[in-house]
Structures are given as structure tokens and as C-alpha cells.
């Protein structure tokens, strides 16, 4: 048990405040970068003359790279120190920001976003693993709440900040403005960041990385092109089949591997498995709205990017301030009723978006959007923490990697799926209006058809939310048990430092 003891001792001696401050600041920048694109999408569609299904790759591509890269972070967190890994991720993010800022066209901008995502994808699972390492289970809810406040503050100011920039400057200023922070964070991390986890130096499953990349990539590609090519397209069907088969092969390989890229043993823990499924629904509900609402406000209603960002500001601020509160409530009461109440509020307020028109009031949209964010604040962190709390410490890195991988891929697929629904239904509504003899001109028909497509996409969100609500009734409070941690695992970890550990 030497490895575990030394790790625990190291974690206990770490100053939690500076450690979390540096890492939360890095996570804040990464999330801010992700959210500013939601408001910028309509502007970029006009500048580069691209369709919504193409422009959404700036968001879904970002999440896809996160999803592909996050499985490898379990290996990274066991191979490198916290400071080495965090510093490398921030430098990657900085490089991507520079490429995005100077991009001459959409293709280069997308490349810059993908490089940013390669850095950002490491930050969140690393931060969660650090929290699991330095905080006991009965204090993790409060710690996750503080993390949630800082991270949700980014979406709170992101759309408004992006809206102001787009109203007064070029979209490139969004990336230039991020450069000072992207430079400052690695410098601060060099002085204040300490390692808090045990390094076990596992072997990298290169074949597993390739298979998972093919699986995630083809699955998302299939969802993304379905809106323009149709669900019956051979390209769509082949992409989805290849993606599913590759992910099935990846899963089998991980189960059989002695040193898996992702330890599927985390799914032996029932609450982790349940909360992971709920998180799929929750993530789709959350990310999809970040794409649909700006499209409705700017493309269908003619609001400016700043007005679009300001509309989402109250809800995002409320969500941020609620995070520490729900964290403390989770430590006291658990996740079940927080999730049930929060999901119910989110579903009820989402119903308010299924009958949008060309005259829906701005105040009504603010009220409904704020209500949705209030509901989401009640379950986002508690659901994730409830599942991770059940895992033994030896599976912390794998649990955070699995959780973040699934959430990122679910967000990417959810966004792609709902944009596909919106695009497909818009075409259908356009055809119906053209053949009905409505008397509208082309622009009016396009406006009404677009709003109809967005309403239909919100109906799909409600259905996904109902699945999350029903599953929330089965959540129970669970904690990792001492006997869940096998002695062999500790000996294997300690073998890197002493030969005697394996025989103990």
C-alpha cells in the first residue's frame, strides 16, 4: 500500500487554494472559447458564405476533438505530472488561438479551433481528477460547486462579450483578446501547480487510440451530413455503421486489455453507469440550446449578436451563482431530488420554446432561457459527482476520462442531430408553404420555415430531457468502499519505485 499512502500524503500537503485557482482559470478560458462561437456562428455563416450544417463544425468539431482526446488523458494523467500535463495543454490552446486569429478562411479557422480543442480537452478531466485526489467524498460537492461557478461564469459572459465584439469589431478580436490570458496561465502554473496523483507509467494503446478516433469521428460525421444529404444517403449510413462498429471494437479491446486506454471496469459500479447515461441526455439538452437560440434570434428574428448574447446573460449568471449552492445541497442530500427537480424545471421551460413565432417577445425569451439555466444548475455537477464518488481511487483517472469523453461526444452528436432536425424540418416547412399558396414572399416563407424547424428541434430536446428525468428517479447515494481498492493495484503502482512492492 506504499504507493497509495505516499500519494495520499502528497495530496494532503498540497495547498488546495492556489492549485484550484490556476486550474479553474485554465478551464474558464477553455469554456469561454467554446461558448463565444455560439453567438458568432450566424456572423461567420455570412462572412464565409456557408450553411449552418457547415458552420456548426466550429462547435461540434471542437467537441469531437475533445471527445477523441479525452480517452487518452487517463493515460496522460498516469504518465505525466499535473504541472507537465496542464502546461502542455495550455500551450496547445495558445497555438490554436493564434491560428484562429489569423485564419484567412473557414478551413484554417476550423483547424485553429481543433488545435484549441486538443489543449482544452485535457484540462477538464485533469481538473476533476485533481478534485477527486485532494478532496474527501463528503467535501467534493462543495468543491465541484466552486468549479461549476467559475466555469459557468464563462458561458455567462461569453455570448455577451462575443456579441459586443461582433457589433463593433472583427470576429478575430475574440481570439486576439484571449491571447493575454492564454499566455499568463502557463506562467502562473509553472510556479504554483503541484503534482497530486501517483505516476504509474502505463503503456499507450496506440491501436486503441486509432480505433477510437475512427469510431468517434465517423459517428459524428454521419450525424453532421445527414441534414444536407438525407438519412437515406449511402454516405450517412456507411459513416454511422463504421462509427458504431469501430466503437464496439474499441470497447471489446479495452475490456480485454491488461493496460486499457479506458478501464471499462468503471461500469461495474451501478451509480456511475446510471449517471453516465443521464449525463448523455443532460449534455444534449444543454449544448443543443447553445446552437438553436442564437440561430433563432439572429437569423430568424434579426437581432444583433450583442442582443443575442445579452438575452442569455441573466440565465447564465444565475446558473453560475447556483452552482456552489447545489454543491452544498449535494453534500447534504445527494443528487436524486436535485436532479429530478432540476430536470422537471428544464423540461417545463423548454416547452416554452416549441411555439416560437416571428413576434415572440424578447422578455418572454429571457424568462424562459433563465428558467432553463436555473433548472440545469440543479443537476449538472451533482449528477457527475454522484457517479464519480462511487469509484475507488485507483479508477479516478479512468472515471473522469470516461465521463468527460461521453459528455463531449454526446454534446457533439446532440448538436449535430438537432441542427440536422432543424435543417430537415425547415426544408419540409418551406415546401409546405410554397405549395399551400400562402401568399408570402420568399423571405417571409424562409423566416417562417426556419422558425418551424427550430420549434421541431426543441420538441426533440424535450423528448431527450424526459429520458433524463425518468432515469433520475433511480439515483441513490453511493460511496467508494475501502475494499474496492485491490492491494495488487497499489503494488503495481509502487513497483516503479521499489521491487519489494510487488511481493508485498
Distances (CA, A) of 190 to 27, 65, 113, 273, 296: 16, 26, 25, 36, 44
275, burial (CB in 10 Å: exposed 0-12, middle 13-18, buried 19+): buried
What is the per-residue pLDDT across 123-173, written as a single tens digit (0 to 9) for each? 878 887 788 777 777 777 777 777 777 666 776 677 778 888 888 888 898
What is the per-residue pLDDT across 334-349, written as a single tens digit (0 to 9) for each? 899 999 999 999 999 9
Within 8 A by CB and 6+ apart from 376, the residues are 282, 285, 286, 319, 342, 346
Q: Residue 288 and residue 272: Cα distance in Å, rounded?
A: 24
pLDDT band at 41 (very low <50, low <70, confident <90, very high): confident
CATH class for the region spanning 2-205+257-496: mainly alpha
Q: Residue 325 and residue 308: Cα distance in Å, rounded?
A: 28
Most confident of 50-59, 194-203, 338-347, 478-487: 338-347
Residue 26 has pLDDT above 50, yes or no: yes
Q: What is the mean pLDDT of residues 8-18?
A: 59
pLDDT band at 14 (very low <50, low <70, confident <90, very high): low
What is the per-residue pLDDT across 189-203, written as a single tens digit (0 to 9) for each? 888 777 776 777 778
Q: Residue 62 and residue 176: Cα distance in Å, rounded?
A: 18
pTM over 0.75: no
Within 8 A by CB and 6+ apart from 107, the residues are none
What is the per-residue pLDDT across 87-131, written as a single tens digit (0 to 9) for each? 888 999 999 999 999 998 899 999 999 998 888 878 878 887 788
Question: What are the domain boundaries of the chain?
Answer: 2-205+257-496, 206-256
Q: What phi, psi does 52 have (nearest 5°)? A: -60, -35
What is the per-residue pLDDT across 346-400, written as a single tens digit (0 to 9) for each? 999 999 999 999 889 999 999 999 999 899 888 888 898 898 888 888 888 788 8
Amino acid at each position: 500500500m506504499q504507493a497509495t499512502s505516499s500519494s495520499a500524503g502528497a495530496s494532503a500537503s498540497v495547498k488546495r487554494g492556489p492549485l484550484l485557482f490556476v486550474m479553474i482559470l485554465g478551464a474558464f478560458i477553455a469554456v469561454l472559447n467554446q461558448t463565444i462561437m455560439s453567438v458568432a456562428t450566424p456572423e461567420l455563416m455570412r462572412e464565409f458564405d456557408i450553411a449552418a450544417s457547415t458552420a456548426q463544425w466550429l462547435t461540434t468539431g471542437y467537441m469531437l476533438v475533445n471527445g477523441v482526446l479525452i480517452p487518452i488523458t487517463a493515460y496522460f494523467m498516469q504518465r505525466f505530472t499535473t504541472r507537465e500535463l496542464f502546461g502542455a495543454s495550455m500551450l496547445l490552446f495558445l497555438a490554436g488561438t493564434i491560428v484562429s486569429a489569423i485564419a484567412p478562411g473557414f478551413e484554417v479557422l476550423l483547424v485553429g479551433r481543433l488545435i484549441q480543442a486538443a489543449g482544452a480537452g485535457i484540462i477538464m478531466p485533469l481538473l476533476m481528477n485533481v478534485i477527486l485526489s485532494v478532496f474527501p467524498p463528503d467535501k467534493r460537492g462543495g468543491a465541484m460547486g466552486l468549479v461549476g461557478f467559475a466555469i459557468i461564469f464563462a458561458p455567462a459572459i461569453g455570448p455577451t462579450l462575443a456579441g459586443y465584439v461582433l457589433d463593433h469589431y472583427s470576429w478575430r478580436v475574440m481570439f486576439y483578446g484571449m491571447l493575454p490570458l492564454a499566455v499568463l496561465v502557463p506562467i502562473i502554473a509553472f510556479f504554483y501547480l503541484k503534482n497530486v496523483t501517483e505516476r504509474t507509467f502505463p503503456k499507450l494503446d496506440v491501436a486503441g487510440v486509432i480505433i477510437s478516433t475512427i469510431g468517434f469521428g465517423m459517428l459524428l460525421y454521419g450525424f453532421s451530413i445527414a441534414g444536407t444529404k438525407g438519412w437515406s444517403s449511402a454516405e450517412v449510413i456507411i459513416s454511422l455503421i463504421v462509427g458504431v462498429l469501430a466503437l464496439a471494437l474499441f470497447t471489446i479491446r479495452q475490456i480485454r486489455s491488461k493496460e486499457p486506454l479506458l478501464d471499462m471496469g468503471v461500469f461495474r459500479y451501478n451509480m456511475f453507469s446510471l449517471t453516465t447515461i443521464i449525463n448523455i441526455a443532460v449534455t444534449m439538452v444543454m449544448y443543443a440550446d447553445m446552437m438553436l437560440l442564437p440561430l433563432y434570434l439572429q437569423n430568424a428574428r434579426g437581432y444583433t449578436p450583442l442582443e443575442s448574447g445579452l438575452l442569455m446573460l441573466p440565465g447564465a449568471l444565475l446558473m453560475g451563482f447556483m452552482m456552489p449552492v447545489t454543491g452544498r445541497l449535494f453534500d447534504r442530500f445527494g443528487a436524486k431530488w436535485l436532479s429530478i427537480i432540476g430536470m422537471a424545471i428544464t423540461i417545463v421551460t423548454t416547452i416554452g420554446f416549441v411555439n416560437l413565432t416571428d413576434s415572440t417577445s424578447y422578455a418572454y425569451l429571457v424568462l424562459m432561457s433563465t428558467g432553463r439555466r436555473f433548472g440545469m444548475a440543479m443537476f449538472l455537477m451533482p449528477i457527475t459527482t454522484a457517479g464519480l464518488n462511487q469509484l475507488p481511487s485507483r479508477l479516478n483517472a479512468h472515471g473522469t476520462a470516461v465521463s468527460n469523453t461521453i459528455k463531449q461526444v454526446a454534446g457533439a452528436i446532440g448538436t449535430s442531430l438537432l441542427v440536422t432536425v432543424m435543417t430537415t424540418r425547415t426544408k419540409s416547412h418551406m415546401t409546405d408553404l410554397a405549395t399551400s399558396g400562402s401568399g408570402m414572399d420568399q423571405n417571409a416563407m424562409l423566416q417562417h420555415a426556419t422558425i418551424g424547424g427550430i420549434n421541431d428541434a426543441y420538441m426533440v430536446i424535450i423528448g431527450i430531457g424526459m429520458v433524463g428525468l425518468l432515469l433520475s428517479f433511480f439515483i441513490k447515494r453511493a460511496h467508494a468502499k475501502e475494499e474496492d481498492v485491490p492491494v495488487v493495484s497499489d503494488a503495481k503502482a509502487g513497483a516503479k519505485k521499489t521491487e519489494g512492492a510487488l511481493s508485498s
